[in-house]
């Protein structure tokens, strides 16, 4: 039987069961695991190890990046078999393997989920070993959107039920492409060839660089929230090291701008301005005491907020839509 016919058969077997009035109580499947059609609503679950954990239905979850062995152990305890990373950064295959978990890597941006990538999530839902856990970095925007498409592929649920996942996750409407593409998803045609799935996808240098910057920024935010000193919850963080890493990685990003934007004066100017702000923050950190004094903190705050505003403006123009 051809791949197209196999897919068609799978879709016919899975898609009719949704939680509309016409559906019955028969079981469907997510990645081969029998499940109930769709929960009455996505359920946000408090979990110390897995931040922003959401159960879309039995056998299908989304949340934030699992960090450290305790987080992967928690996923294993939940019964997860396959983790799906939609972030640009390389998945931690080694940590996952230590806990008997497999990884798939299907990176997406904040601007939306194109047809080919939506078909990849369809293939994940229908073929990967479940239960499944989808994650981006923070578990709030891209991960829930990808999981919502997998939910649609596995259950044929309504647009409203899929968008409820984004509402539960707190997905920002500043990323209209994610909302649009979850709402607009349709099953693959019988003659469409589904994309290959990989443990580690090939990611453009600029995308990978931005993923690293995102993690550096989280470190700076944690340090700022702890009065610009090492937080008790993260004794591994060091203000000087984090500020230096952010500035250096920002400079690296400026050297790998995609070819299609190589002559985009607005983007180049924004990147240069952001780099100057990152270097300003780094210099202020290096000149400050350890920890910074009360008199030094206002300058750090001002530089941090300037950098934050610069990043937000650039994301609005080039990343979000």
3-state SS track over 234-291: CCCCCHHHHHHHHHHHHHHHHCCCCHHHCCCHHHHHHHHHHHHHHHHHHHHHHHCCCC
pLDDT at 265: 87
Q: Are 110 and 60 in contact (CB under 8 A)?
A: no
Q: Across all residues in the chain, what is the average pLDDT?
A: 85
Q: Where are the domain boundaries for CATH 3.90.190.10 in the chain?
A: 3-184
- What is the predicted pLDDT for the residue at 6? 33
Using the predicted structure, report yes or no on whether residue 3 has a pLDDT greater than 90: no
pTM: 0.68
**What is the pairing mode between strands 53-57 and 43-45?**
antiparallel
Predicted pLDDT at 8: 33
| Mean pLDDT, range 255-270, rounded to an integer | 83
| pLDDT digit string, tens, across residues 120-157 | 999 999 999 999 999 998 999 999 999 999 999 999 99
Confidence of residue 291 (pLDDT cuts 50, 70, 90): very high
More confident position, 289 or 89:
289
Query: Hey, what CATH class is 3-184 in?
Result: alpha beta
Which part of the chain has CATH 1.20.120?
205-318
Greater confidence (226 vs 174) lies with 226
- pLDDT tens, residue by residue, 83-94: 999 998 889 999
CATH entry, 205-318, from 1.10.287, 3.40.91, 3.30.1360, 1.20.120: 1.20.120
């Amino acid at each position: 039987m051809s791949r197209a016919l196999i897919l068609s058969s799978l879709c016919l077997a899975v898609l009719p069961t949704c939680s509309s009035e016409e559906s019955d109580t028969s079981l469907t499947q997510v990645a081969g695991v029998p499940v109930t059609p769709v929960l009455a609503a996505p359920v946000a679950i408090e979990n110390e190890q897995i931040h922003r954990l959401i159960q879309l239905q039995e056998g299908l979850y989304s949340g934030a990046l699992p960090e450290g062995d305790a987080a992967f152990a928690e996923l294993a305890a939940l019964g997860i078999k396959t983790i799906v990373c939609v972030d640009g950064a390389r998945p931690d295959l080694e940590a996952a393997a230590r806990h008997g978990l497999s990884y798939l890597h299907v990176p997406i941006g904040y601007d939306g989920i194109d047809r080919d990538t939506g078909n990849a999530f369809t293939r994940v839902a229908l073929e990967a070993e479940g239960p499944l856990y989808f994650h981006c970095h923070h578990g709030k925007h891209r991960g829930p959107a990808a999981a919502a498409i997998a939910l649609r592929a596995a259950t044929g649920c309504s647009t409203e039920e899929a968008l409820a996942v984004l509402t539960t996750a707190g997905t920002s409407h500043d990323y209209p492409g994610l909302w649009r593409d979850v709402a607009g998803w349709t099953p693959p045609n019988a003659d469409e060839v589904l994309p290959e799935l990989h443990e580690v996808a090939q990611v453009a240098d600029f995308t990978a660089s931005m993923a690293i910057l995102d993690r550096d920024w989280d470190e700076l935010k944690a340090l700022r929230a702890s009065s610009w000193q090492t937080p008790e919850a993260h004794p591994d963080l060091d203000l000087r090291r984090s500020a230096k890493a952010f500035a250096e990685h920002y400079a690296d990003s400026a050297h790998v701008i995609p070819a299609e934007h190589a002559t985009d004066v607005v983007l180049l100017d924004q990147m240069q301005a952001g780099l100057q702000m990152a270097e300003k923050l780094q210099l202020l950190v290096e000149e400050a005491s350890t920890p910074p004094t009360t008199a030094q903190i206002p300058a750090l705050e001002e530089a941090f907020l300037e950098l934050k505003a610069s990043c937000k403006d650039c994301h609005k123009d080039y990343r979000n839509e």
